Structure 1
């Protein structure tokens, strides 16, 4: 098309028809501008398509990561509830007047309640990569971006609460590091001695006396309070945050 106009332009110059030449020259310019605009439109469309594909890949990665985190948190909530239930049963032994507590059952409760540390290890590697690379801005949903940004700050708060819970757990366990009570009895009566290949002990020391300890009761109550706060004020709201994030991600995915 441009060659066609060029031929006409040369012919007009040769014939000294300047007005018509200017018109055709303007036509060439218009064609060039139109061509550039079309090229830019195609290029922009390609860039938008690439950005859209990248965003979908990011969303898929985030969905997988938060699904795994949800599974971990759900399991952790169950462990925390198990610890709470065990502590509550021990507390019932303390205030029971029927003498229903036995060394065997107390050992099982002590082991089951205080053997598991509580720590939520969220899968944040992909999210951290998005943030550190600056690609989080490619997530088009403003609400989702805000949720993802605040998520990491929430993790810091969770770690502080878990550190407090771990400290209360250690306070309870410290009572068994004295000569008054026997960790070996707990090992023997829960089968842990066999698992660790510890020689069997026939003359086991009873731990029932700890139920009369005011220090033990106080530490147990603080542990229960911290466990309940971890569940109610931190883990359950966090699970709601995960559900909200997953719902936003699902809304942005092209499926």
Structure 2
């Protein structure tokens, strides 16, 4: 490209020579003027070359950034869709476990018209089963750690992502403390009233515990009813499930909002 401009410049210089002077040495003033034009022409050519090189580099860089942005957008969408599936599954588990907790609490408070010992043994296990809310943050972490979030130049997107992926440490510590206290205390207290075989058989045998043989697990139903601390722990776990449900609903809404924003 530079050679092309240089050839044009040389032709123009030759055309501007006085008649009969083309290719010959002219007067000093003319020679100086010709040299000045040559220098100016070289400077212009260099500047044009630099500008063209910068433009080409900018085009290449923009194409590269566009590919990176599209890759991140695709991965974010995949992560969020998986999160939504997992959040729905966790909500189903939490609701089912909550139902079992209510059933066990009604038994301990003598509120059941009919007692189903098979259902109660299932309730013993699931009352203390609390789902752990997690989200897939690999793509977001890579965006932040690599500083590629700047490629989007989108303040609203960064706000939405930060709000979804950055957890409130104090709130998390508080909830984890409640969870550990309630869950561990429930597990330890409940273990006093049945054999460890109950949990082992349930989780080791594809949930196929011998529910019709409560004697095998040495379940002490009456002793459970007389344990006020156990009832307290079941109540705390039930209250904690409200926090879990609220978190699941909130994160589901946030994930849907980000997906809608990314797809617009």
Q: TM-score, normalised by structure 2?
A: 0.76
Equivalent of 1:110 in 124, 127, 132 = 124
Asked if residue 148 in structure 1 is aligned to residue 156 in structure 2, the reply is: no
Question: Are residue 192 (structure 1) and residue 196 (structure 2) matched?
Answer: no
- What is the match of residue 26 of structure 2? 15
Q: Does 1:182 align with 2:194?
A: yes
1:51 aligned onto 2:51 = no
SS at match of 2:167: helix
CA contact (8 A) 1:61 1:126 kept: yes
Residues 104-141 of structure 1, C-alpha deviations (whole Å, 9 max, x = no match): 32112112322x34213322222222222222222232
Q: Could you tell me how far apart the structure 2 residues matched to 1:217 and 1:159 are?
A: 25
Give me the whole-angstrom Cα distance separating, in 1, the residues matched to 2:136 and 2:227.
41
Alpha-carbon distance between aligned partners in 1 of 2:111 and 2:91, rounded to the nearest angstrom: 32
Equivalence map 1:51-130=2 (5 Å): 51-97=65-111, 99-114=113-128, 116-130=129-143
CA contact (8 A) 1:176 1:182 kept: yes
What CA distance in whole angstroms lies between the structure 1 residues aligned with 2:261 and 2:214? 58
The TM-score normalised by the length of structure 1 is: 0.78
Contact 2:83/2:136 (<8 A) preserved: yes
The total of aligned residue pairs comes to: 245
**Distance in 2 of aligned mates of 1:104 and 1:167:** 27
Could you tell me how far apart the structure 1 residues matched to 2:145 and 2:109 are? 54
Partners of 2:100 and 2:126 within 8 A in 1: yes
CA distance in 1, matches of 2:257, 2:68: 22
C-alpha RMSD of the superposition = 3.4
- The alpha-carbon deviation at position 34 of structure 1 amounts to 3.3
Whole-angstrom CA distance in 1 between matches of 2:203 and 2:163 = 45
Deviation at 1:159, TM superposition (A): 4.5
- Give per-residue Cα distances to partners, 1:157-195, cap 9 Å, x unaligned: 6753245324312221211233xx11358459xx63983
Q: Structure 1 residues 63 and 23, CA, compared in 2 at 3 Å: closer, same or farther? A: same
Structure 2 unaligned regions, length at least 5: 18-23
